[in-house]
Amino acid sequence: MVHVGWVQRLLRSADWMGFPGPEPDLVAHGQTRVGPHARRIFEKFAELGIEWVSEPTDSEPGAQRIRPVNEVLAFRKATCIDLCVAFCCAALDAGIYPLILTVTADGGQRRHAIVLVPMERQWVIGCDVLIDEGF
Protein backbone atom coordinates (compact mmCIF):
# COMPACT_ATOMS: atom_id res chain seq x y z
CA MET A 1 0.00 0.00 0.00
CA VAL A 2 2.73 2.49 0.92
CA HIS A 3 5.51 2.86 -1.63
CA VAL A 4 8.19 5.41 -2.45
CA GLY A 5 7.52 7.49 -5.55
CA TRP A 6 3.79 6.89 -5.97
CA VAL A 7 2.62 10.38 -5.07
CA GLN A 8 5.18 12.02 -7.36
CA ARG A 9 4.27 9.74 -10.28
CA LEU A 10 0.51 10.13 -9.79
CA LEU A 11 0.31 13.92 -9.45
CA ARG A 12 0.61 16.41 -12.27
CA SER A 13 3.95 18.23 -12.05
CA ALA A 14 2.20 21.46 -10.98
CA ASP A 15 0.56 19.64 -8.05
CA TRP A 16 3.84 17.93 -7.08
CA MET A 17 5.76 21.23 -7.03
CA GLY A 18 6.63 22.12 -3.44
CA PHE A 19 6.52 18.62 -1.98
CA PRO A 20 9.83 17.93 -0.20
CA GLY A 21 12.09 15.47 -1.96
CA PRO A 22 14.74 13.13 -0.64
CA GLU A 23 17.77 14.59 1.08
CA PRO A 24 20.91 12.70 2.05
CA ASP A 25 20.60 13.82 5.66
CA LEU A 26 17.58 15.39 7.33
CA VAL A 27 19.74 16.51 10.27
CA ALA A 28 22.03 19.50 9.73
CA HIS A 29 23.96 21.45 12.36
CA GLY A 30 22.25 19.45 15.11
CA GLN A 31 18.76 20.45 13.90
CA THR A 32 16.33 18.01 12.34
CA ARG A 33 14.30 19.04 9.30
CA VAL A 34 11.83 16.18 9.68
CA GLY A 35 9.17 18.40 11.31
CA PRO A 36 9.22 21.14 8.66
CA HIS A 37 9.22 18.53 5.87
CA ALA A 38 6.27 16.65 7.41
CA ARG A 39 4.42 19.95 7.87
CA ARG A 40 5.06 20.85 4.22
CA ILE A 41 3.65 17.49 3.08
CA PHE A 42 0.54 18.12 5.21
CA GLU A 43 0.14 21.60 3.70
CA LYS A 44 0.55 20.28 0.15
CA PHE A 45 -2.14 17.64 0.74
CA ALA A 46 -4.41 20.38 2.12
CA GLU A 47 -3.81 22.40 -1.07
CA LEU A 48 -4.98 19.41 -3.12
CA GLY A 49 -8.43 19.82 -1.57
CA ILE A 50 -8.97 16.17 -0.72
CA GLU A 51 -12.41 15.73 0.87
CA TRP A 52 -13.34 13.29 3.63
CA VAL A 53 -15.77 10.57 2.54
CA SER A 54 -17.26 7.53 4.22
CA GLU A 55 -15.49 4.22 3.94
CA PRO A 56 -16.05 2.26 0.71
CA THR A 57 -19.39 0.47 0.53
CA ASP A 58 -17.65 -2.82 -0.30
CA SER A 59 -15.85 -2.83 3.07
CA GLU A 60 -16.68 -5.87 5.18
CA PRO A 61 -18.11 -5.56 8.70
CA GLY A 62 -15.26 -4.96 11.15
CA ALA A 63 -12.83 -4.12 8.33
CA GLN A 64 -12.34 -1.22 5.97
CA ARG A 65 -11.13 -1.34 2.39
CA ILE A 66 -8.31 1.14 1.83
CA ARG A 67 -8.51 3.10 -1.39
CA PRO A 68 -5.40 2.94 -3.57
CA VAL A 69 -3.30 6.11 -3.63
CA ASN A 70 -4.09 6.66 -7.31
CA GLU A 71 -7.84 6.84 -6.47
CA VAL A 72 -7.26 9.23 -3.57
CA LEU A 73 -5.21 11.59 -5.74
CA ALA A 74 -7.40 11.29 -8.85
CA PHE A 75 -10.80 11.73 -7.20
CA ARG A 76 -9.62 13.87 -4.23
CA LYS A 77 -11.76 11.85 -1.80
CA ALA A 78 -10.48 9.80 1.15
CA THR A 79 -11.12 8.41 4.60
CA CYS A 80 -8.59 9.05 7.35
CA ILE A 81 -6.77 5.77 6.63
CA ASP A 82 -6.73 6.45 2.86
CA LEU A 83 -5.14 9.85 3.46
CA CYS A 84 -2.67 8.39 5.96
CA VAL A 85 -1.45 5.92 3.33
CA ALA A 86 -1.06 8.69 0.72
CA PHE A 87 0.73 10.94 3.26
CA CYS A 88 3.13 8.11 4.14
CA CYS A 89 4.02 7.63 0.47
CA ALA A 90 4.96 11.31 0.21
CA ALA A 91 6.83 11.12 3.53
CA LEU A 92 8.93 8.23 2.23
CA ASP A 93 9.73 10.35 -0.84
CA ALA A 94 11.12 12.98 1.56
CA GLY A 95 13.22 10.46 3.49
CA ILE A 96 10.84 10.35 6.48
CA TYR A 97 9.88 6.96 7.91
CA PRO A 98 6.33 7.29 9.35
CA LEU A 99 4.00 4.86 11.07
CA ILE A 100 0.22 4.67 10.81
CA LEU A 101 -1.57 4.34 14.14
CA THR A 102 -5.17 3.17 14.23
CA VAL A 103 -7.28 3.78 17.32
CA THR A 104 -10.73 2.52 18.24
CA ALA A 105 -13.34 3.52 20.80
CA ASP A 106 -16.79 2.31 21.80
CA GLY A 107 -15.98 -1.33 21.17
CA GLY A 108 -14.72 -0.65 17.66
CA GLN A 109 -17.70 1.44 16.60
CA ARG A 110 -15.54 4.57 16.24
CA ARG A 111 -12.20 4.25 14.48
CA HIS A 112 -9.58 6.72 13.40
CA ALA A 113 -6.10 6.64 11.86
CA ILE A 114 -3.22 9.09 12.26
CA VAL A 115 0.37 9.26 11.05
CA LEU A 116 3.26 9.30 13.51
CA VAL A 117 6.53 10.87 12.40
CA PRO A 118 9.86 10.29 14.19
CA MET A 119 11.13 13.82 14.75
CA GLU A 120 14.70 12.66 15.36
CA ARG A 121 14.64 9.93 12.67
CA GLN A 122 14.65 7.36 15.46
CA TRP A 123 11.68 5.57 16.95
CA VAL A 124 13.51 4.48 20.12
CA ILE A 125 15.40 6.85 22.41
CA GLY A 126 18.76 5.46 23.53
CA CYS A 127 18.93 3.02 20.64
CA ASP A 128 21.96 3.22 18.38
CA VAL A 129 20.11 1.80 15.37
CA LEU A 130 18.87 4.49 12.99
CA ILE A 131 15.74 3.89 11.01
CA ASP A 132 17.85 3.97 7.83
CA GLU A 133 19.48 0.74 9.01
CA GLY A 134 16.18 -1.02 9.69
CA PHE A 135 14.77 -2.72 12.73
For residues 29 and 47, give the distance between their C-alpha atoms in angstroms, rounded to a whole number.
31
Q: Roughly what angle, to the nearest 10 degrees, separates helices 34-47 and 80-93?
A: 130
The total domain count for the chain is: 1
- Is 73 inside any structural domain? yes
Provide the CATH number for the domain around residue 46: 3.10.620
pLDDT in tens, 15-38: 888 888 877 666 666 667 888 889
SS3 91: helix
- Is 47 inside any structural domain? yes
- Is 78 inside any structural domain? yes
Please list, residue by residue across 43-67, b when 16 or more beta carbons sit within 10 angstroms of its beta carbon and e when fewer do: ebbeeeebeeeebeeeeeeeebebb
Where in the sequence is the domain holding 102, given as residue range(s)?
6-133
Enter the pTM of the model: 0.80
Q: In the chain, pLDDT over 90 holds for what percent of residues?
A: 39
- Is 68 inside any structural domain? yes
- Is 1 inside any structural domain? no
- Is 113 inside any structural domain? yes
- Is 83 inside any structural domain? yes
**13-17, 39-43, 125-129: least confidently modelled range:** 125-129
